[in-house]
Structure 1
Amino acid sequence: MSVDPRLRSLQIDLPTQPATLLRLSALLADDAADLQAAGALIEADMALAAAVMKAVNSSLYGLSGRVQSVRQAVTYLGLREVAAITYEFGLRAVFPAAAELEPLWRRASLRGLLMGRLGEALGVDPWAAHSAGLFEECGKAVLFRHSPVRYLPLFVGAQDDAELIYLEHREYGVSHDALGAALCESWGLAMPAVQAVRHHVRVQATRQLPAGLPRPAICVLSALAQALMNGAPDLEAAAEALAPQAQLDPTLVLRGLRRVADQLREAQARATPGR
């Protein structure tokens, strides 16, 4: 997919998609995808496979027994979640290893998981939802990679993402939401995921979707996942405000939110020693 030429003129490079992820994308596009073939593809990249195994055995997934191979992980979690973990670490690998970015990647991992499972619960494309969650903040990593010394004070100093976007526009003429959407597009993510990354700051801040947005459900899942990540103080209000904008039933959305929150708590409890 092409990237907006106005972004190219800013000389802010977008990282190219790693070869393993290109092959995995092609495999996922096949409705008859072979789970064993997917596992073998991931295992062929030793660094990526090791990262996937570490993630699968973390407290975020809370599996009852330790998983010993990528193929076993696919059996336990399903292809979508293992593919998403692979994408997460493939995405991380194209950016510099920096302590300042670690909280961003932790949020991406959790947000992707929440959005994917919400999508599954509500009949909304779970792969597009999971990938949108992973990539939501990746524009910040693009700007950090472009000019870490200039960007770091903005990144750590902004009170919230709305302020950060203002500061980014003032400094660079572009903001991380636009850059993140451009990266999603260049890596071939589904258009609803691209749209969710492009509009996530506005939707999370206002709980209002842009007018005329086609296939808006992924944007809604982004804001719902944010509510969960903020400690879920007003899940019912979030469901009531957001669900009708994507022709979703607020009662079913609230039920899905609570189910996913329960899954996360159960995973954390299983992974906690002595529990």
Structure 2
Amino acid sequence: MPVDPKLRSLNIDVPAQPEVLVKLSLLLADDEVDLPTLGRLVESDMALAAAVMKAVNSSLYGLKGRVQSVQQAVMYLGTREVAAVTFEFGLRAVFPAVPELEPVWQRASVRGLLMGRIGQALSVDPWGAHSAGLFEECGKAVLYKHAPEVYQPMLASSANDMELVEREYEAFGVSHDSLGASLCESWGLGQAAVASVRHHVRVNALRQLPAQAPRRAICALSALANALMTDPDSLEEVAQHVAPQAMLDQTLVLRGARKVQQQIEDATARG
């Protein structure tokens, strides 16, 4: 999908999708994804294979035994979570490997996992939810790559994302939420994930889902994940606000979110 012409006029480059992600996207388009083929695709790139192995053996995934091969990782994690690790690897690969962006990638891993698993618990497009979580802050990396000397102090000193987007727009004429959505589009993510990335700042700050967004439930999952990551005590209040807007049952939403939270906490504790 072409990048928004307005961004071209601002001379801000949205990185192209890496070749391995193009191949993965074609593979995921098949309703019956062949797991051995997925494993071979991952194995074809040594750096990607290492990233998948590192992820599957991390505390976040909470597996009891150490996984020894990519094919094992695919079988243990399944298509969605292996695909998510691959997309995360692809994101990291096209941006500078700098300490300033490391918190962005760390939050992306956790947020994607939370959104994907809550989506799975609620039967809300788990892959769309997981990818939306991974890409939510990627526009920050776009702006950092575009103008690191300007953006680094802005990123470090902004109190929250609402303040940050205002400063971004003043400095660049565009904010990271819009840039992130454009990158999602150019990399072929679904429209529900694109909408969640585009609106996440206002959703998380105001708990108001955009009326025009497809699959508003994914935006709701963004708000739930944000609550779990920043203020777990606010989870029930957030669910009260967003569940009705997304036509979701509040009780089921809370149950699903807390179950996933407990899973990840238990996995991290086992370390």
TM-score range, shorter chain: over 0.9
Q: 2:31 is matched with which residue? A: 31
- How far residue 237 of structure 1 moved from its aligned partner, in angstroms, is 1.2
Structure 2: which 5+ runs fail to align?
A: none
- How far residue 98 of structure 1 moved from its aligned partner, in angstroms, is 0.2
What secondary structure does 2:232 align onto?
A: coil
Q: 1:182 is matched with which residue? A: 182
- How far residue 204 of structure 1 moved from its aligned partner, in angstroms, is 0.3
Give 1:265's aligned amino acid. Answer: E
The answer on whether the counterparts of 1:74 and 1:82 sit within 8 Å (CA) in structure 2 is: yes
Deviations 1:127-147 (A, max 9, x none): 010000000000000000011
Tell me which moved more, 105-114 or 77-86. Answer: 77-86
Q: 1:139 is matched with which residue? A: 139
Give 2:269's aligned amino acid. Answer: A
| Rounded Cα–Cα distance in structure 2 between residues aligned with 1:82 and 1:60 | 13
The answer on whether the counterparts of 2:192 and 2:213 sit within 8 Å (CA) in structure 1 is: no
What secondary structure does 1:243 align onto?
A: helix
- How far residue 54 of structure 1 moved from its aligned partner, in angstroms, is 0.8
| Match status 1:151 vs 2:164 | no
Q: 1:238 is matched with which residue? A: 238
Q: What's the TM-score, normalizing by structure 1?
A: 0.97
| Rounded Cα–Cα distance in structure 2 between residues aligned with 1:62 and 1:256 | 18
Give 2:69's aligned amino acid. Answer: S
Give 1:194's aligned amino acid. Answer: V
| Rounded Cα–Cα distance in structure 1 between residues aligned with 2:170 and 2:239 | 34
| Rounded Cα–Cα distance in structure 1 between residues aligned with 2:173 and 2:120 | 37
Alignment of 1:194-233 (within 5 A): 194-233=194-233
Q: What's the TM-score, normalizing by structure 2?
A: 0.98
Alignment of 1:26-175 (within 5 A): 26-175=26-175
- How far residue 6 of structure 1 moved from its aligned partner, in angstroms, is 0.6
- How far residue 69 of structure 1 moved from its aligned partner, in angstroms, is 1.2
- How far residue 110 of structure 1 moved from its aligned partner, in angstroms, is 0.3
| Rounded Cα–Cα distance in structure 1 between residues aligned with 2:114 and 2:70 | 21
| Rounded Cα–Cα distance in structure 2 between residues aligned with 1:18 and 1:2 | 15
| Rounded Cα–Cα distance in structure 2 between residues aligned with 1:212 and 1:34 | 35
- How far residue 75 of structure 1 moved from its aligned partner, in angstroms, is 1.0
What secondary structure does 2:20 align onto?
A: helix
Structure 1: which 5+ runs fail to align?
A: none
Give 1:190's aligned amino acid. Answer: G
What secondary structure does 1:65 align onto?
A: coil
The answer on whether the counterparts of 2:177 and 2:198 sit within 8 Å (CA) in structure 1 is: yes
Deviations 1:47-88 (A, max 9, x none): 111011111111111211111111101111111101101110
Give 2:179's aligned amino acid. Answer: L
Q: 1:258 is matched with which residue? A: 258
What secondary structure does 1:248 align onto?
A: coil
**Across the two proteins, how many residue pairs are aligned to each other?**
271
Give 2:33's aligned amino acid. Answer: A
How big is the alpha-carbon RMSD for the aligned residues of Structure 1 and Structure 2? 0.8
The answer on whether the counterparts of 2:120 and 2:126 sit within 8 Å (CA) in structure 1 is: yes
Q: 1:3 is matched with which residue? A: 3
